[in-house]
């Protein structure tokens, strides 16, 4: 597999905004910028313009909330933006509809357009990029950069009209001739090798990839392919061993040509060069040809059959590859339900890999959601996450999601955040009635005598 190294200039996510996307009917704004209440040890200083004061950026953010409150939808909305950028030109039929997920519980919202925006530092320069679209057209699209602290237009689009910025105008005008109503200008420009816009397009290829249950087979295949690299194999085995799963080593059987192509496809998918196929769920753990070795009673290393490995081991194996890649390249990694099938101590260590500048020198970022209140910690000395690294989702009565940061609630420095969260002090917890649960299973409710 291709072994990538991070760019000399940092590239980090600053903020993500959206509207009318999945369960977010109204505006949502998510920020990775540190605030005055942050823990200085986890803040990274990132240069963003020539001669400017660096920005204080966070390495990790965690989203907490009740079931079905929209935690996963925040991460999926980011992944939706990524998919639209990467594939709108090369995937869509010229006359086809644009795949999007507006808020469906409101008839008026279903007919309204959706909006996506990101603020990021790309190769040491702040950029803003966004677009507005409906089911058939890209209505607006824009990109700005801030090389000297003031906004410099790269391009701005309204319908089929594109206003070119001061850099590479000739190429921008040439790309306009290829533009389709249902394709993003950024996607079209990348296909034409637009020098100014290509790095922005490639950022989406490396970033905002969502690790969720459905993508686990491809992530396990990606980790398997890493076992073919001497340097990366050592990292994979070290993380398997460090997780205290009883695994001492790992080996990969030589795959047949069909499986070898599926492993290569997993690499292309995880690197943004290919879309995850809709009709292919990915290879099973048994098909990968991986053997994890466990130490037996007599000290001998014994390979276990794939079906005998625990779910937690498989989940961790599927996370290792993308996590190693994110730390190597310095990318934004999205983890849905970080605590699913993992012990809280293991989830904690994964977060620490991103928090610690020694293990994360390239400023990779982790955005995750979880139900695990132990990740919130107690008072300041026990916290894994700073007060500005915690976000909550809450569902309104109409089914829409409200996203808000813990910092807006002005928690005290010594506050026991995990306990207060479980007590419902911050909202974002389910409102449950034991009487309703009891009545649902009572003999009378089942019609029993």
**CA gap 281, 218 in Å, rounded:** 8
**CA gap 56, 34 in Å, rounded:** 5
Which residue, 312, 311, 334, 310, is CA-closest to 323? 334
Element (H, E) at 314: helix 311-329
Per DSSP, the three-state class of 210 is strand
**CA gap 376, 406 in Å, rounded:** 11
Element (H, E) at 152: strand 152-158
Token readout for 215 is 């993508």
Record: fold of 1-207+331-449: Rossmann fold (3.40.50)
CA separation, residue 325 to residues 44, 156, 388 (Å)? 20, 33, 26
- Predicted confidence at residue 256, as pLDDT, reads 85
- Predicted confidence at residue 332, as pLDDT, reads 97
Per DSSP, the three-state class of 249 is strand
Residue extents of the structural domains in the chain: 1-207+331-449, 213-327
Cβ-contact 239, 303 below 8 angstroms? no
Q: Whole-model pTM?
A: 0.92
Give residues with Cβ within 8 angstroms of 8, minimum separation 6.
none
Cβ-contact 175, 163 below 8 angstroms? no
Per DSSP, the three-state class of 200 is helix
Per-residue pLDDT of the chain (449 residues), as tens digits, is 544 444 467 799 999 999 999 999 999 999 999 999 888 888 999 999 988 899 999 999 999 998 899 999 999 999 999 999 999 997 767 778 999 999 999 999 999 999 999 999 999 999 999 999 999 999 999 999 999 999 999 999 999 999 998 777 888 888 988 999 999 999 999 998 888 899 999 999 999 989 999 999 999 999 999 998 888 999 999 999 999 999 999 988 888 888 888 888 888 887 777 887 776 788 889 889 898 999 888 878 888 888 888 999 999 999 999 999 999 999 999 999 988 888 889 999 999 999 999 999 999 999 999 988 889 876 556 789 999 999 999 999 999 999 999 999 988 888 888 888 888 888 887 777 677 777 788 876 555 54
- Predicted confidence at residue 448, as pLDDT, reads 53
- Predicted confidence at residue 425, as pLDDT, reads 85
């Amino acid at each position: 597999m291709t072994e990538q190294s991070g760019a000399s200039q940092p590239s980090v996510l600053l903020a993500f905004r959206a509207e009318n996307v999945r369960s977010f009917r109204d505006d949502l704004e998510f920020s990775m910028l540190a605030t005055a209440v942050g823990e200085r040890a986890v803040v990274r200083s990132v240069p963003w313009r020539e001669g400017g004061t660096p920005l204080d950026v966070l390495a990790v953010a965690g989203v907490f909330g009740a079931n079905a409150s929209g935690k996963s939808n925040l991460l999926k909305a980011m992944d939706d933006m990524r998919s639209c950028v990467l594939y709108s030109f090369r995937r869509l039929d010229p006359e086809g509809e644009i795949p999007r997920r507006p808020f469906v519980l409101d008839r008026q919202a279903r007919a309204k357009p959706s909006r996506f925006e990101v603020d990021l530092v790309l190769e040491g320069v702040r950029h803003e990029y966004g677009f507005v679209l409906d089911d058939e057209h890209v209505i607006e699209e824009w990109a700005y950069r801030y090389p000297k602290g003031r906004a410099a237009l790269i391009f701005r689009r309204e319908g089929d009209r594109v206003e070119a910025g001061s850099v590479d105008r000739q190429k921008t005008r040439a790309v306009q001739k290829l533009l389709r109503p249902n394709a993003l200008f950024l996607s079209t420009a990348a296909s034409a090798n637009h020098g100014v816009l290509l790095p922005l397009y490639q950022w989406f290829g490396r970033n905002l990839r969502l690790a969720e249950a459905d993508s686990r087979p491809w992530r396990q295949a990606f980790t398997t392919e890493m076992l073919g690299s001497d340097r990366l194999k050592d990292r994979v085995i070290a993380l398997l061993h460090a997780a205290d799963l009883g695994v001492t080593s790992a080996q990969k059987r030589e795959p047949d040509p069909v499986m070898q192509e599926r492993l290569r496809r997993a690499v292309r998918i995880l690197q943004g060069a290919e879309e995850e196929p809709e009709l292919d769920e990915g290879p099973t753990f048994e098909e990968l040809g991986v053997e994890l070795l466990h130490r037996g009673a007599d000290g001998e290393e014994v390979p276990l059959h794939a079906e005998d490995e625990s779910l937690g081991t498989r989940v961790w194996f599927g996370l290792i590859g993308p996590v190693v890649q994110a730390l190597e390249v310095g990318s934004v990694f999205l983890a849905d339900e970080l605590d699913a099938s993992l012990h809280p101590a293991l989830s904690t260590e994964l977060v620490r890999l991103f928090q610690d500048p020694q293990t994360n020198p390239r400023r990779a970022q982790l955005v995750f959601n979880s139900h695990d209140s132990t990740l919130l910690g107690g008072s300041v000395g026990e916290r894994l996450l700073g007060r500005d690294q915690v976000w909550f989702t809450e569902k309104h009565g109409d089914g829409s999601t409200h996203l808000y940061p813990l910092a807006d609630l002005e928690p005290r420095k010594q506050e026991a955040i995990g306990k207060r969260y479980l007590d419902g002090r911050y909202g974002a917890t389910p409102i449950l009635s034991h009487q309703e649960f009891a009545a649902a299973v009572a003999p009378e409710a089942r019609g029993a005598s």
